[in-house]
Structure 1
Amino acid sequence: MKGYKTFITISILLLISLISVYNPPSHRYISTLKESAFTTSTLHMSDAGPLLDQIKLFASQHDIKPVNARIDPVWKAIPGYNGLSVDIDASFDRMKKKKEFNESMIVYKQTKPKVSLEDLPPSPIYKGNPNKPMVTFLINVAWGNEFLPQMLETLREHKIHTTFFLDGSWVKKNQDLAKVIYEEGHEIGNHAYTHPDMKSLTNNRIQEEIHKTNEIIQSTLEVTPKWFAPPSGSYRMDVVEIASTMDMHTILWSVDTVDWRKPDPDEMANRVVNKIHPGALVLMHPTSSTAKGLEQMIQGIRAKGYSIGTVSQMMSEKRLVKANQIGETDK
């Protein structure tokens, strides 16, 4: 019985095959379907060709190579900066509906450099990558409590987050104020514990100053700093290397407010703005001059086309791109 059913099934399949071969209408119908599918595919390829060619040509003319991190003989460690290239597939998907090239619909993707800041040997950092249109304020805090509220208010009004380097003994005495700074969204850095001349300390004392400050910041704010600013900018390579063993980079500056000399706020702000450059790290403290001149500095820096961010944002390889230039690597 089982064999009989198998025989019937094979016979039916053979009959269908013969009909499709020897029946002209069926043959023509099958051929028509094949031709239709081929023609449709060809038309799609034909439509896509010119548009794809335009996108590829644009891509070849607008590719920006990434910049490797490097050790500069003067400025020491300089972070890398992502390149920018056209995402051809994503750009085509944006434009294929209208089947016409539109530069405003181009999508970019960031390309990472081969050498990053983490690949470099321990070295101090004086500024960010010169291709990045960003500026960072380094606010070193060991005194000047009376001027911090006004500075925080100005930063808040202008929606700016930057990096405060806190002295460990100051944090111990001013835990509530330290929490206010952190809760405002600012990044916290390490400024040693007793504001010493780091260059003159023994290696054991160097380690103690940095470690003790990290401990008090961690216990107070539940954050461990990754940036270290030596008081008064005093250091030797032992300081940089010891900080590195504690997963911290040593940060210095390229523009100084010299606010501890109590300069006229307007003159100080104008001098700082005139010295601003891409990747600038601007040193300041909670002083009367800075509290009064901070808004003028912010306005002058932004008027030059620079954004203002944290040290981490400055040291990041991520490019600052326009709102429409968003690709998978930027999300």
Structure 2
Amino acid sequence: MNNKWKQIVAISAIAGISWLLVQNPYTHIYLTQLTDHSVVSMKQEDELLLQIKESTKKYEIAPQDARIDSVWKTVPAYNGLRVNIDDSYKAMKKEGGFDKDKLVYQQVPAKIHLKDLDPAPIYRAHPEKPVVSFLINVAWGNEYLQDMLAVLKKHNVKATFFLEGNWTKKNPELAKMIRGGGHEIGNHSYSHPNMQNISSQATREEIRKTNEVIEAVTGVKMKWFAPPSGSYRDETVKIADSLGLKTVMWSVDTIDWQKPSPEVLQQRVLSKVHPGAFILMHPTESTAKSLETLIINIEKKDLDVVTVSEAVDEERLNP
């Protein structure tokens, strides 16, 4: 029975019209049953729709704008969620009852984004986003790189490698291997200076020259800059921004350059890891031997290991 016929039957029942009965007295029983069924069905549908509409208050999440925090500096935006009432209704209609697991959501974008903020370092992704990123700074440690790449490939994990320009020039095949593994590549200066102490002109040249070398070797146009040893001043960040790069720091440090045992390094990271964490590491023996254990245990915490670009993306995960 189509919707138009249902409406006619329902109207007839409400108004007390019995023209069908006049034509055929035996239709009385059928009409009564049909009308009762239609009224019940319409009532169930109305209740379902009402439940879905009421659920919006409980399950919807407001978007969060990007902002500058006094401690964490740049905090990326994070989308909110809105219940799509029509699609949710369609998803539940067949079952005839409300099921929160069948709610259909749509992302609600923030109003202020990273690009709208003044230049400031980024120490982590949004603290509600269930991801972490490996920041692998490369200026030495060639002997451990291939083992680390093999572990990342085994677990289908993509990291962000910050390459020194001079290292890239001397090791183009390794740089291409990193890129070939699908990893993200960032700028780690050209000669690993203390960026806090060098002139503005030297800062610009360090970043610009590295951009050119890495792009020539890998074809990648970079958007992230990691200052050597985490040393910078406000002007460093502004110069990087003028060259199209955001400055990246970290919230968890392996301190792997001190050559800790794998057990010490793993405990150090896993005791501090958090949603949105940027984990700093280098191609060292300690990290190479710890990497698989870190990946396994981080994922056990329901955190995905992703690149910096994926981590700061505003899309809300696991709605």
TM interval, short-chain normalised: 0.7 to 0.9
| Corresponding residue for residue 249 of structure 1 | 246
Pairing 1:169–2:166 present: yes
SS in 2 for 1:216: helix
Q: How does 1:250-265 map to 2 (within 5 A)?
A: 250-265=247-262
Equivalent runs, 1:120-199 vs 2, <5 Å: 120-199=117-196
CA distance in 2, matches of 1:240, 1:86: 39
Rg (Cα) greater in structure: 1
1:97 and 2:94 are equivalent in the alignment: yes
Tell me which residue corresponds to 1:79: 76
**Alpha-carbon offset, residue 104 of structure 1:** 2.2
Aligned-partner Cα distance in 1 for 2:297–2:95 = 43
Q: Which residue does the alignment assign to 1:208?
A: 205
Contact 1:266 1:296 in 2 (8 A): no
Amino acid at match of 2:196: K
Structure 2 distance, partners of 1:252, 1:212, is 21
- The one of 301, 306, 322 equivalent to 2:303 is 306
2:27 alignment counterpart? none
Query: Structure 1 residues 133 and 33 mapped into 2: Cα distance closer, same or farther (>3 Å)?
Result: closer
Counterpart amino acid of 1:35?
I
Corresponding position of 1:114: 111
Q: How big is each residue's C-alpha offset from its partner over 1:38-69, in whole Å with a ceiling of 9 and x where there is no partner?
A: 679x8686553111111111222111111121
Provide Cα deviations, 1:214-262, integer angstroms capped at 9, x if missing partner.
1111111111110000011010111100111112100011111111111
Question: In the alignment, which residue of structure 2 is the partner of 1:329?
Answer: none
Distance 2:162 2:155 in 1: 20
Q: C-alpha displacement at 1:286, in angstroms?
A: 0.2
Counterpart of 1:206 in 2: which secondary structure?
helix
**Match in the other structure for 2:8:** 35
Q: Which residue of 2 aligns with 1:66?
A: 63
Q: Which amino acid aligns with 1:147?
A: Y
- Corresponding residue to 2:231 among 234, 240, 251: 234
Residue of structure 2 aligned with 1:286, choices 262, 283, 286? 283
SS in 2 for 1:199: coil
Give the distance between the partners of 2:7 and 2:274, measured in 1 at CA.
64
Alignment length, in residue pairs? 290
Q: State the 1:33 CA deviation.
A: 11
Identity percentage of aligned residues: 50
| Stretch moving more, 266-275 or 110-119 | 110-119
CA distance in 2, matches of 1:261, 1:165: 19
CA distance in 2, matches of 1:266, 1:253: 21
Larger displacement relative to structure 2 (105-114 or 236-245): 105-114
> Does the 8 Å CA contact 1:270/1:297 hold for their aligned counterparts?
no
TM-score by length of 2: 0.86
Match of 2:18 in 1: none
Which ranges of structure 2 fall in alignment gaps of 5 or more residues? 13-34
- Once the two structures are superposed, the pairs formed by residues 314-329 of structure 1 within 5 Å of their partners are 314-321=311-318
Per-residue deviation, residues 56-91 of structure 1 (Å, max 9, x unmatched): 112221111111211111111111111122111111
